[in-house]
Amino acid sequence: FWTELVVRARSQEALDAARADVEAMVAGFASNPG
């Protein structure tokens, strides 16, 4: 039970971090095309 909660929490953090990286990359491309 606890291990499942920890795994879910870590996976959620990983998803949030990946989304933040993607958003930053997209923002960089948008502000600096080419």
Cα–Cα–Cα angle for 6, 10, 16, rounded to 5 degrees = 145
* pLDDT for 34: 66
pLDDT tens track for 2-22 = 899 999 999 999 999 999 999
* pLDDT for 32: 81
> Between 24 and 33, whose confidence is greater?
24
* pLDDT for 4: 93
Tokens of 14: 């990983």
Residue spans per domain, the chain? 1-34
